[in-house]
Amino acid sequence: PSFESPSPFLAMQVAAPGPSEGGSPRAEEEGAGPGPASWLQRLRAEVQRSCQLSVSPADAPPLAVVAVERYVAESPPPGPAYCYDVTLAAGGRREKCALAPALNGLVHGNALRAGRRLRLARCSYRYDEKKLGSGFLCLERLELLPGPPPDAGLGREQPGRPLRGGRRHYLPLWNSEDPYGDMWVASRPPEHLQLDVSKLTSLGQLEMNWRSRIHFSPLLVRILHKARLRYFGKPDTKLDIPYQAYFEVADSSGMMSMVLWNSLCPEWYNSMKIGTVLLLEQYGIKTSYPFKTQPTPGDSQMKRFTTIEISLNIRDPPTKINIIPEKMVKPEWRLPEVRYRFATRSELDYLPNNHSCDIIGLVIFVGRVERTKKREYGEDFWIHRWAHVVDGTSDQPFILELFATSQPDVFEHIHPMTYLVCTQMRVVRDITKNIPRTLYLTTSNESQIFITGWHKGQPYTRDAKVKNFIQWIKTQSEADLMKKTVIGGYYPFPPAPNTFLKYCKNNKVESVLKTIGEMKREIEDLHYMEHKRIAVQGIISAIRYVSSAAEDASGIEPIQVQCSLSLPAGAGSCQGQDQSRLRLHKLPLSLPSHRRQPRRPSPGPAPWGVEQAPHSPPAWGDTPEIEEMGRTCHDSWQSDLWTMVKDNLIDHLHYCTVFLESIPRKFDYMHKEFLMQQYNLHPAVHKPKEHRTNKKLHEFKSASGLGHYEVTILGINHDVAIDVAFLPMFCPEDPHFFQAEDIQNDALLSSMRYTSVCQQGTTSSERIAIADETLKAAVDLDRQHVICILDICYLGEDKVEVFLNKIYKIMETDVVNPE
């Protein structure tokens, strides 16, 4: 596909190219030579020579994208909040180019990414008017090409500054909380100093005397808690490095907050670990920020000083920081030890909501990394993933919601069979009629996470519950634990509440509900791996079961399709559309009007949206009947109302495809690097493959093998419809992976899940499709207005995942008359 900046000036250039436009850069240019290695060099010279500083090169060679990097824009809103620089390579030559803001959407959707090939269709040259002889290429139009470039010449990008404006550093590509780039010092060596403790002051003395002093005596403190980084840069922010990080430090008198500011963050943040002892000189004192989050101290008896906080900055005054080696710390200094509040899984059942605790366990499931917008119309995201952890004290796992904690090297390497420690986790529980239903732990602002390889030297290694876990793990069979491990895929947690009133919480029903038309716009606006949960009103009108054999039969990526309105009754011919060209599927799908009629054997089950060439997809209304165990079952159902209205719809959206990335997979330790790469976000800088595997994603066994359902939701005005998927979650090796009680008060989805679970152990030819219980639940909803909770996620490559999570009946009192 070709993408361009919709600039009238650039459009004029294409329509009427000048004498220097429209051709390839001339070979006689200085430094020119044959082959693509010199093409970028010649292009730069050609575009600088152009009278319009713009060219549309003909016969441009394929170029490799080495890096796509983000930074804050200079211009205030309504312009974009961020700009992007793209480093291109051809042969041994590299060129860092600016991306025209109109093409930012290509990065938002991860279409333009490191490791991809492209061909330039138009570029311009921009001089920096505040510098002498400084300028850069700007990509105005480009064509994305299929297939990856060769790894040769695509090594680590050299450090540098953003091209536009006065920004000094890049941000992470997908969030702003993680350190990114070479300016972040990995570790600073400890200092061997001769301390004169008589010249030190204490935190308690500071609390009493800070108003009467300008200069403060040195402090000797230990770090007890560490918060994630906060980036506060905006287009109108002139600070070079606008970062902030909070710590809680303590001495024998008590505990106080300490703030690391601006350029000191890249220099010191990674070195300031939990337990680190600091000698601070020439620091500032300020009144405390009243809305800061507070960690829960391991020692509940420790005194907290909340009036003031220590401020560490590069100036006013310039702080002097020294790290004291642990082996030099003397008992007479009376520095407090780091204490923890470890809880076992058996103890978690009795902890109240919002209680803070630390946990240790073995990871048996880790989900893919997803993103959630911080503000509805902003460009800033949180990134997070789910994990299951066991510790041997319960048959239930810890369920963890892990947000990025400014530890990317740890967060991106969480995988099954690693030992995971999480500190300062908060309990989230939902109690319905005195029965705990939803129970999980989520990270707080002060959480830290550690995996195997990061535990050495951590203070928690001395904790009694940590030692108990290590003793338990030594008694376990590695092979038995491996059978329970799962990675990636769609994970429908936390479950939607039992009632729509609870779902709405403090929001008005009118602001929570979306129309199906609005949902289409929501999908169009999704960014790469952005997850949303939305509510729509509708009528359940059709259900079809797709076996797991159909999901992974060929290993070919499913193609969502656009179907013609003009199909005759009884026919189901669909034309496949290239995913890279198609996001929304607007034409209605014409389906036959008859139901439950036997059909001739087909070449195999094919879900909607999967082109099964050379055979035409089977007509959906043709439903075989299967007699098994005294039950009559069918592979699809549709209501009489659907039969009457489906050919007259204004719009019919098709989002029922279950992609390879949507299916949780059994973990294979031999291929852990490949699997971790599949379920992490795409890196900003291309990295040559560090793993060697010949396996494709579809070759890794599905964790459930249950197949999925395709559900048609008709709009309540009978003029639009949307097809979505329902993915039953069940792992036979680990029944607690997703529990049946998590779909309460939802007869249809419960029966669909139960029927699927009962199919475990049957062959594909014997597989039950839709049982009587499901048909009965569907008939009970016939023509009823319901509220459907949908989980949507944009996987990139124009793959939009839409799963049905929950169905609420409108007749419920607390829905019709919300309090």
Whether 377 has a pLDDT exceeding 70, the answer reads yes
CA 41 – CA 30 distance, rounded (Å): 9
- Give the number of other Cβ atoms within 10 Å of residue 782's Cβ: 14
Sign of CA dihedral 174, 176, 178, 180: positive
pLDDT at 561: 35
Whether 497 has a pLDDT exceeding 80, the answer reads yes
CA 177 – CA 179 distance, rounded (Å): 7
pLDDT at 447: 97
Strand ranges, E, within 433-587: 435-443, 449-450, 486-487, 513-514, 531-546, 561-563, 574-576
CA 732 – CA 483 distance, rounded (Å): 10
pLDDT at 353: 93
Looking only at the bridges linking them, the beta strands covering 243-251 and 254-261 are: antiparallel
**Three-class SS state of 93:** strand
Q: What is the DSSP letter of 648?
A: G
Q: How far is CA 593 from CA 230, 325, 605, 623, 666, in A?
A: 58, 78, 20, 12, 40
CA 42 – CA 28 distance, rounded (Å): 9
The more confidently predicted of residues 686 and 690 is 686
Q: How far is CA 115 from CA 147, 384, 750, in A?
A: 9, 24, 43
pLDDT at 133: 76
Whether 357 has a pLDDT exceeding 80, the answer reads yes
Poorest-confidence range of 5-14, 32-41, 562-571, 702-711? Answer: 562-571
**Three-class SS state of 495:** coil
Please, are residues 121 and 142 in contact by the beta-carbon 8 Å criterion?
yes
Please, are residues 431 and 437 in contact by the beta-carbon 8 Å criterion?
yes
**Three-class SS state of 699:** helix
Mean pLDDT highest for which of 215-224, 552-561, 620-629, 706-715? 215-224
Whether 607 has a pLDDT exceeding 60, the answer reads no
pLDDT at 633: 43
Q: Please, which residues bridge with residue 653 across strands?
A: 722
Whether 33 has a pLDDT exceeding 70, the answer reads no
Tally of helices (H runs) and strands (E runs) in the chain: 18, 36
DSSP per-residue codes, 155-199: -PPPP---SSTT---PBPSS-SSS--STTS-S--PPP-----GGG
Crossing angle for the helix pair 747-758 and 772-780, to the nearest 10 degrees: 170
Model confidence at 354, pLDDT cuts 50, 70, 90, reads: very high
Q: What predicted TM-score, i.e. pTM, was given to this entire model?
A: 0.84
* Distant-in-sequence, close-in-space partners of 287: CB < 8 Å, separation ≥ 6: 307, 308, 309
pLDDT tens, position by position, 694-746? 889 989 998 877 788 999 999 999 999 999 999 887 666 665 666 544 455 67
pLDDT tens, position by position, 610-652? 333 433 333 343 333 333 333 344 578 899 999 999 999 999 9
Burial class (CB in 10 A: 0-12, 13-18, 19+), 621: buried
Phi/psi at 6 (5° precision): -80, 60
Mean pLDDT of the region 436-457 = 92
Phi/psi at 201 (5° precision): -115, 170
Question: pLDDT exceeding 90 applies to what percent of the chain?
Answer: 55
Whether 37 has a pLDDT exceeding 60, the answer reads no
pLDDT tens, position by position, 734-788? 656 665 444 556 777 777 766 555 555 554 444 445 667 777 777 778 888 999 9
Mean pLDDT of the region 287-310 = 91
